Structure 1
Amino acid sequence: MTNTLGIPGKKCGTIIVKAEELNNCRESVMMQFCGNKLDKKDFFGKSDPFLVFYRSNEDGTFTICHKTEVVKNTLNPVWQAFKIPVRALCNGDYDRTIKIEVYDWDRDGSHDFIGEFSTSYRELSRGQSQFNVYEVVNPKKKGKKKKYLNSGTVTLLSFLVDTEEISEFGLNLLVILKILSLSTTGNPAQPTSLHYMSPYQLNAYAMALKAVGEIIQDYDSDKMFPALGFGAKLPPDGRVSHEFALNGNPQNPYCAGIDGVMEAYYQSLKSVQLYGPTNFSPVINHVARYAASVKDGSQYFVLLIITDGVISDMAQTKESIVNASCLPMSIIIVGVGPAEFDAMVELDGDEVRISSRGRYAERDIVQFVPFRDYIDRTGNHILSMARLAKDVLAEIPDQFLSYMRTRGIKPSPAPPPYTPPGQPIQTQI
């Protein structure tokens, strides 16, 4: 315990530091839960349930170690499978209490408490069985209502212990295809455009492409990147395309490294006319077609979308992401410019799992970062790019591993570099 001193001679509060020796357990566990007949908390709907997991400490207190995503408008949610180190869950003590609280999500952050239950790693390790169906109990209701039984139940659907390291998969299986996509933002000849080609500095799109591209290009096996654009009229006839090769060669849209993509981007601005609407779904479906043909774990695809935040086909894009969530692919969306990015945050799905026409995404495959948050006004470019790298890559390992593990795919010898298909890539929607 230490006192904090902000003003000389004046006590400004107390910070208490609690420590516990970490167990050397290196196992991780992947679990999935569902709820049944949870309490209805919303006046106009049902509930938007999520789970909060607490590890018990040696002094009897509890520490949050995991939160699930929110499943909207249901009393019978099925949460996504998640992976957590055993050290984080119980510090390797299989009989230590694990407390789980169930909440109804509210937009203003005042989440409604539905109830709670307790278990242990040893109990959970029995897997799906009658032992792992838990009554969700609200102590306040139990004390006030004599006939109160519970606020629903939560059931463990799966429990898988995993001792493999991410690096085992990354070194042996990770072959990534990255596709850059651009949206339309003003006339590139005008300084107000995010695509403005200044002789003195990079425009907003080029800055984001260079920064993010240089972060992720080292994870690609051959450094050859197919680069597509969308939202433009193409020469010579002015047809509108939402899926065209930036280098002007639909038979071979591959560019050598991020520098090659940058060059193709600048050349495309000179030859095409930027044009709305801004549709995301065609380019997502484009990558999904390739990912659907390689489900054995030998290749994993990452789609990089750089956008100003405007989106014209939100419903179709949600459906494309839900469809792609069962494929070996992830999507990184980088927002540029001053616009509000509410639509991009929704697609990210960190708080509320994305759904389309009643179907939920099998797993979270989208990571969104607003580029403006990483421009350091003090000029510390190295620090700001380190923060950007951390957040761009934050979810890719878990997204990658969740696909491999849920399908029982194990590390294998490194595959040959991805070979472009012999037939021309279809660019007309």
Structure 2
Amino acid sequence: MQLEHKMSNIYESAATTLGLFNSPCLTKVELRVACKGISDRDALSKPDPCGVLKMQSHGQWFEVDRTEVIRSSISPVFSKVFTVDYYFEEVQRLRFELHDISSNHNGLKEADFLGAMECTLGQVNARDGRVTAEELSGNDDYVELAFSAKKLDDKDFFSKSDPFLEIFRVNDDGTASLVHRTETIMNNLSPVWKSFKVSLNTLCSGDHERELKCTVWDWDSNGKHDFIGEFQTTFKEMKAAMDGKQIQWECINPKYQVKKKNYRNSGMVILTMCKIIKMHSFLDYIMGGCQIQFTVAIDFTASNGDPRNSCSLHYIHPYQPNEYLKALIAVGEICQDYDSDKMFPAFGFGAQIPPDFKVSIQGVVEAYQNCLPKIQLYGPTNIAPIIQKVADSASEEMHTKEAMEYFILLILTDGVITDMADTREAIVHASHLPMSVIIVGIGNADFSDMQMLDGDDGILRSPKGEPVLRDIVQFVPFHNFKHASPAALAKSVLAEVPNQVVDYYNGKGIKLISLQPNQSAVTYSV
């Protein structure tokens, strides 16, 4: 009975948090972006455009995601697909930005701003344009595909072709939507492309017999790629490769087929792997026994100011909580509902608080208020040790039989990190573990370092150049929500966590723990 009650509470909390009860029917749509005739500001070269999608919330623009960078193109067709929730009864404002990102930099700060357009999601759904929307079906499964080719036509005079493969889904109206673009294999007529994962919704709209058009190109640095050939197939045909067989298609250039009498093909394209991956949702994992282990770390460095001074970020006002407390309570009250004992480790930078280590959210609040008069604030602001400490716990959990605990570290800090290199190293290491890091910036300091850790401004790498396996850091400056409700802050801070949980467990192929029938009955009651 105790387990059933806990699981029921956890499910109800999850459902409430995600708006499953007393909420409008949710529709997901995919947005695809293409551009035409981008202004070329550099007379010597074409731009390397990257598209950024932002959505407006409480009057502020927040980045949702961004496309890949397409080199040397004034009319890019991006393969990246944006997936957003659509609510008919809400005005959902979108902003699409274009940035020219040079090959030497991946961040938007050093990129040239090319332009932007604003609209609503309703306008995109209702009109034709360079941004297209399509409603998703209910199939959330993914498929992993791996392609290679052999004996492709040589399009270069002084070297071999540099081939890449594009896969398009043919829509009901006859148009084609780009599903995936592989990497380019340089100087190779028999390339082996990296495997990739794509949802069945994106690949074929859940219709296994929908036509797929595949084209092979020879990459050129000026953006004028040479056409090698094409072929048509369906996912139903691809599925034959699930039995370990290899399927191959002739790569045909229609012009050569007409002009050349003895023309056979421009090479062969081979599907070497096709594997369907069952994707589970965040609630599937919560219902399957996943426990959230929540840890809090609070910045007690001198830059916060003397807590006895009313200007201090740690000042305890008699009638209202300071920003540290507001952020702690807003996020902690949601996370506690996914933890069976609702007890959390709590740390201060340089000192552990309180002495008994694990307390409830209210216990953290009380310990925080009680310790301020007794400590002297100092530096430096080193956050790598606390990330590594939680990562050690996550690593131990990962090697257990069940491996169904996921760790969330909430760091509340007022600004500049003094161990950036070690922090980057710790985050890259943690990206392989069942762990997410949430950073809330308190006050009005320079948070540029924090935004870099978020990974929204390019892929975060360790000092040695190793990239993160997955994006696990979410940074939110508190001042953006100073006049908003606690729920708005919590929603922004925790928005990426469900996907991060799903990405980790699905990526590891960890199976769910099945609930007993009587537990399930209690769990799903409302």
TM normalised by structure 1 equals 0.64
**Distance in 2 separating the partners of 1:343 and 1:80:** 33
Q: Displacement, 1:172?
A: 2.1
- 1:91 aligned to which of 195, 205, 211: 205
**Distance in 2 separating the partners of 1:199 and 1:221:** 33
Indicate the percent of aligned positions where both proteins have the same amino acid. 39
CA gap of 1:178–1:53, structure 2 versus 1, over 3 A, is farther
1:302 alignment partner, SS class: strand
1:359 alignment partner, SS class: coil
CA gap of 1:212–1:79, structure 2 versus 1, over 3 A, is farther
Aligned equivalent of 1:178: 294
**Distance in 2 separating the partners of 1:359 and 1:205:** 33
Q: Displacement, 1:284?
A: 0.5
- 1:389 aligned to which of 490, 498, 510: 490
Is the aligned partner of 1:198 residue 2:317? yes
- 1:402 aligned to which of 503, 509, 514: 503
Letter in 2 for 1:284: I
**Distance in 2 separating the partners of 1:262 and 1:67:** 50
**Distance in 2 separating the partners of 1:325 and 1:52:** 29
Q: Displacement, 1:399?
A: 1.8
**Distance in 1 separating the partners of 2:224 and 2:318:** 57
- 1:281 aligned to which of 356, 362, 384: 384
CA gap of 1:203–1:165, structure 2 versus 1, over 3 A, is closer
- 2:173 aligned to which of 59, 79, 85: 59
Letter in 1 for 2:406: Y
Aligned equivalent of 2:140: 27
Aligned equivalent of 2:41: none
Is the aligned partner of 1:361 residue 2:468? yes
- 1:207 aligned to which of 326, 330, 335: 326
CA gap of 1:57–1:195, structure 2 versus 1, over 3 A, is farther
Q: Displacement, 1:341?
A: 2.1
Q: Is the 8 A contact 1:176 1:301 kept in 2?
A: yes
- 1:218 aligned to which of 318, 321, 337: 337
Q: Displacement, 1:32?
A: 8.1
Q: Is the 8 A contact 1:22 1:87 kept in 2?
A: no
CA RMSD across the alignment:
4.6
**Distance in 2 separating the partners of 1:121 and 1:397:** 29
Q: Displacement, 1:367?
A: 1.7
**Distance in 1 separating the partners of 2:389 and 2:226:** 44
Q: Displacement, 1:57?
A: 3.9
Q: Displacement, 1:321?
A: 0.9
CA gap of 1:301–1:66, structure 2 versus 1, over 3 A, is farther
**Distance in 2 separating the partners of 1:59 and 1:219:** 45
Per-residue CA shift, 1:326-372, capped at 9, x if unaligned? 11211111122212322122211235222211222222221222222
Per-residue CA shift, 1:1-26, capped at 9, x if unaligned? xxxxxxxxxxxxx9744799957542
**Distance in 2 separating the partners of 1:361 and 1:269:** 36
CA gap of 1:267–1:362, structure 2 versus 1, over 3 A, is same
**Distance in 2 separating the partners of 1:341 and 1:221:** 34
Per-residue CA shift, 1:98-157, capped at 9, x if unaligned? 78999xxxxxxxxx8989999865577547997699x9xxxxxxxxxxxxxxxxx9x998
**Distance in 2 separating the partners of 1:101 and 1:335:** 47
CA gap of 1:215–1:374, structure 2 versus 1, over 3 A, is farther
Aligned equivalent of 2:513: 412
Aligned residues: 338
Aligned equivalent of 2:448: 342
**Distance in 1 separating the partners of 2:339 and 2:441:** 22
- 2:367 aligned to which of 264, 268, 284: 264
CA gap of 1:99–1:191, structure 2 versus 1, over 3 A, is farther
Per-residue CA shift, 1:310-333, capped at 9, x if unaligned? 101110001111111111211111
CA gap of 1:192–1:62, structure 2 versus 1, over 3 A, is farther
1:290 alignment partner, SS class: helix
Q: Displacement, 1:400?
A: 1.6
Is the aligned partner of 1:254 residue 2:352? no
1:316 alignment partner, SS class: helix
Q: Is the 8 A contact 2:167 2:215 kept in 1?
A: yes
Q: Max radius of gyration: which structure?
A: 2
TM normalised by structure 2 equals 0.53
**Distance in 1 separating the partners of 2:458 and 2:272:** 21
- 1:168 aligned to which of 275, 280, 284: 284
Letter in 1 for 2:338: Y
**Distance in 2 separating the partners of 1:392 and 1:156:** 41
Alignment gaps of 5+ in structure 2: 1-122, 149-164, 184-190, 218-222, 252-268, 516-526
CA gap of 1:318–1:198, structure 2 versus 1, over 3 A, is same
Is the aligned partner of 1:227 residue 2:346? yes
**Distance in 1 separating the partners of 2:312 and 2:226:** 52
Per-residue CA shift, 1:33-53, capped at 9, x if unaligned? 899xxxxxxxxxxxxxxx999
- 1:300 aligned to which of 387, 395, 406: 406
Aligned runs of 1:43-82 on 2, under 5 Å?
Answer: 57-61=171-175
Q: Displacement, 1:388?
A: 2.9
Letter in 1 for 2:320: Q
Q: Displacement, 1:61?
A: 4.4
CA gap of 1:410–1:283, structure 2 versus 1, over 3 A, is same
Q: Is the 8 A contact 1:53 1:66 kept in 2?
A: yes
CA gap of 1:317–1:100, structure 2 versus 1, over 3 A, is farther
Q: Displacement, 1:186?
A: 2.7
**Distance in 2 separating the partners of 1:341 and 1:290:** 28
Q: Displacement, 1:93?
A: 2.5
Q: Is the 8 A contact 1:304 1:333 kept in 2?
A: yes
**Distance in 2 separating the partners of 1:113 and 1:193:** 58
Per-residue CA shift, 1:272-306, capped at 9, x if unaligned? 21111101100011101111111142311111111
Letter in 1 for 2:504: Y
**Distance in 1 separating the partners of 2:145 and 2:379:** 42
